[in-house]
Structure 1
Amino acid sequence: MPNPVRMRWGERGTSMPGEVTIGIVTAIAIELATVRAVLDGVRDLRVAGDPGYYCVGTLPSAEERVPHRVAAVMLTRDGTRNAAATVVDMARSFPSIRVVVMCGIAAGLPAAGVRLGDVVSATGGIVDYGHLRATNGSRELRRASGDISTMFLAADNRLAVGQHDGRRPWEPVLAELERVNPGFRRPPPEGGTPSVHRGAIGSADVLLRDAVLRDGLADVHGIIAFEMEGSGISVGAGLHGREWFMIRGVSDLADDRKNDGWHGYAAAGAASYLRALAGVVEPVPAVARPDRRPGRVAELSRIVEALLAVRLVRDEHERRLLVDELPTHIRSVIAYSPTARTHVISIVRACEGFEEGQAALLGAVGLLLGAETAEFAQLEETVRQNWNGV
């Protein structure tokens, strides 16, 4: 029987792997079930060589006639390593994905005003508190998360502003989910609607049920929620030059009262907010598919290493200037990263997707280095030798 939620919101067509621009990752079955419920035109899909079971469909965008095409998948097991591996598989199976979104449940921090059923948006990034450097009694993070989606951050800001005017577009979606599926309903006798909190979310391979540890981590790192997959999502996305975002519904408070009673409603809250958030994001430009690239790179690693050998390219500020010199249609599909290697891979991959990509890349680098320098001449030779189709 067709899902009544999707019938009400309307069938908007289906997606093929090469058209998908947003990937959605969930950790447990109830999370994927709520995500499926908010997609339009949903159908199941397997991709050869990929162990994941995907559902593909669409979400509304800021442009009514151009919905986002999305693919959603559930981890085979929870944890940061499995999350990273799943994102890598997804990026290979859907090479046009630009943004990976983690959507599901998490533990909230009561001291920050976060309560059961609330929604947390990771606008403050991910704190990987499982990777620390301990020195003489002090602890600091060893690995920062990268490449949070600026598109989704901007959209979240728009929803935040709308809240002050009484506009909460995720609430009707959540109400409809509760109406059609008892498993998504708020546990009795609780009432009301969820609050949305924005900030940093802590991530580690730790099932946290310790209020003292919870509060200590929150004080040190400024965390307002805790989960077990986000740092892996950011790493996996970074490996393929993709951006990421995360939305969590609060199902427990990371103490000894943790249970499964709030899983359905919390997951539904996160999925509802995801649909509302996608609705104010402009259509996401796809990363060009490798099989459609007339100037496909033969030896990506050699070109990347040659670029990284250039001191100016390793400098983050100078690399931004290089990107600014690329044509807008190429520049718009480059996923930014503060990590030089990840950013350079994204730059080369983006240029690879266009007929004029090689010339544009060399032109930008030549402007940065000076087209008459020996350093540029050596780099140009390496690029031309390792770039097919030209």
Structure 2
Amino acid sequence: MEHGEYTVGWICALPTELAAAVAMLDERHNPLPQDSHDHNNYTLGRIGVHNVAIACLPSGVTGTTSAAIVASHIRSTFPSIRFGLMVGVGGGAPSAKNDIRLGDVVISKPDGTSGGVIQYDFGKTVQEGRFVRTGSLNRPPTVLLSAVNTLQARHRMDEPELTKYLADMTLKYPKMQEDGTYPGPQHDQLFEAQYNHQEDDDTCASCDRVHMVSRSIRSDGDSAVHYGLIASGNQVMRDGVTRDRLRRELDVLCFEMEAAGLMDDFPCLVIRGICDYADTHKNKRWQPYAAAVAAAYAKELLCVIPANQVVRTRAIGETNAQACE
């Protein structure tokens, strides 16, 4: 394989997300040489008919700027990349309208004037201390949005392939058995927004169940897929009241920390497995499963995109150069 044969750039931020991404490959390829200025560590392989270059953010370094740097290196090392996928975990913003549960998947999708991702912490403070968000981010490429519509339609008729891909992952990598196993509704606890976590540990054993939000148990236990706006910023969202306020103001489904650094210079779709509710009760119990189910959706998406559609899509470098003319 050569650099020019890779057309998909897959970015993740955490080791658990990287492991899930690599586990979804149908075939792994040998490493290729890269420029000394490119500090990314790539895993190369194939999913379906597409050759994929996977890169992870540096250990302990998150946020929009770090994601933008990783994306710029992918573009320079693999000049034929047509589009990107930002795949990993995120904090859900459930509501009466959107019954988001832990282990669900949220996909960025344009709505109105937004391209699918809103940088909620970018703007200016005006009179009376009001914060006004400025600017907008680009939407994902048409080839990805078409594939999203195809999957939405398919999932109305048939079950998603997520469970199958997770089973394949655990069969191929037995050590990932726990990552691919749904933790169970007993560990999915949503508390009232204003009720804070009671102890400095990783469980909610000391939290008062009186303040839990009552929700019906899903009969099938499968992960649901939600499509809509994703909020992106440089700080971890860990407050239920702020989460709900921004959910109402921006009509977002989840919160994450990297996508806003990518959308304008690295056209991509954002895929987030929900691992917490972006409040003080967040912990890492659901991270491996949420990362795996997000990666499984990314694989299902790539498998519905024909190779000729990708070939007809301009490489990211060509698109950016044309925009600057």
- TM-score normalised by length of structure 2: 0.79
Corresponding position of 2:12: 26
Whether contact under 8 Å (1:27, 1:74) holds in the other structure is yes
Q: Which of 282, 296, 300 in structure 1 is aligned with 2:306?
A: 282
Q: Which runs of 5+ in 1 are unaligned?
A: 1-14, 61-66, 238-242, 288-328, 337-341, 350-390
1:186 aligns with 2:182: yes
What are the residue-to-residue correspondences of 1:145-160 with 2, within 5 Å? 145-160=137-152
- 1:234 maps to which of 263, 284, 287: 263
Shift of 1:233: 1.6
Partner of 2:34: 47
Equivalent residue for 1:110?
Answer: 94
Q: In the alignment, is the contact (CA less than 8 A) between 1:249 and 1:269 conserved in 2?
A: yes
Report the Cα distance in structure 1 between the residues aligned to 2:239 and 2:321, rounded to whole angstroms. 41
Cα pair 1:98 1:284 within 8 Å, conserved: no
Q: Secondary structure of the equivalent of 1:246?
A: strand
**CA 1:208–1:35: 2 relative to 1, 3 Å:** same
Distance 1:343 1:216 in 2: 36
Distance across 1 between alignment mates of 2:308 and 2:234? 31
Structure 1's 343 and 89: CA in aligned 2 closer, same or farther, altered over 3 A? closer
How far, CA to CA, are the matches of 1:334 and 1:176 in structure 2? 31
Deviates more, 1:200-209 or 1:161-170: 161-170
Q: Count how many residue pairs are aligned between Structure 1 and Structure 2.
A: 276
1:72 to 47, 54, 68: 54
Instruction: Name the SS of the counterpart of 2:88 in structure 1.
Output: strand
- Of structures 1 and 2, the one scoring higher in RCO (CA 8 A, sep 6+) is 2
Q: Return the offset for 1:187.
A: 1.9
1:101 and 1:344 map into 2 onto residues whose CA distance is 17
1:192 Cα deviation from its structure 2 partner: 1.5
Q: What is the rounded CA distance, in whole Å, between the counterparts of 2:310 and 2:302 in structure 1?
A: 15
- Partner SS for 2:263: helix
Answer yes or no: is 1:56 the counterpart of 2:44: yes
Partner-residue secondary structure (3-state), 1:110: coil
CA offset digits 1:232-262 (Å, max 9, x no partner)? 121441xxxxx21111100110011111111
Offset at 1:178? Answer: 4.5
**Larger Rg over CA atoms:** 1
4+ runs of 1 displaced by more than 4 Å? Answer: 188-191, 284-287
Cα separation, partners in 2 of 1:48 and 1:92, compared to 1, 3 Å: same
Indicate the structure with greater helix content.
Answer: 1
1:127 partnered with 2:118: yes
TM-score w.r.t. the length of structure 1 is 0.66
CA 1:167/1:234 → structure 2, altered by over 3 Å: closer, same or farther?
Answer: same
Match of 1:99 in 2: 83
**Displacement after TM superposition at 1:347 (Å):** 6.3
Shift of 1:183: 3.5
What residue in structure 2 maps to residue 207 of structure 1? 236
How far apart, CA to CA, are the structure 2 residues paired with 1:23 and 1:334? 11
Q: Which digits, 9 at most, give the CA deviation of each residue in 1:354-381, with x for residues without a partner?
A: xxxxxxxxxxxxxxxxxxxxxxxxxxxx
1:285 deviates by 6.1
Q: Distance in 2 between matches of 1:219 and 1:173?
A: 34
Displacement of 1:71: 0.2
